[in-house]
């Protein structure tokens, strides 16, 4: 009975540890910032207005 308990504990520990490592790796590599985009002057923008912004 102790072999089954040890195997089960090892399997559960491996699954939990693998999940923590996978979550940590995906969080570390996630791109969570917005890149800066150069905005054209108003007279050179489409129809003389800023394409994205307050109108």
Residue where the block lists tokens 């940590």: 24
- In three-state secondary structure terms, 43 is coil
CA atoms within 13 A on the CB side of 23: 6
Could you list the pLDDT tens digit for every one of the 55 residues in the chain? 578 898 999 999 999 999 999 999 998 888 777 778 777 676 666 665 555 665 5
What is the H or E stretch that residue 51 is in? none
Residue where the block lists tokens 């307050």: 54
Q: What is the C-alpha to C-alpha distance for residues 45 and 55, in angstroms, rounded to an integer?
A: 13
The pTM of this model reads: 0.51
How large is the greatest C-alpha to C-alpha distance in the chain, in angstroms?
80
């Amino acid at each position: 009975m102790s072999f089954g308990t040890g195997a089960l504990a090892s399997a559960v520990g491996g699954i939990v540890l693998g999940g923590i490592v996978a979550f940590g790796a995906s969080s570390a590599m996630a791109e969570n910032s917005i890149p800066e985009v150069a905005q054209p002057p108003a007279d050179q923008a489409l129809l003389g207005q800023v394409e994205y912004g307050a109108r």
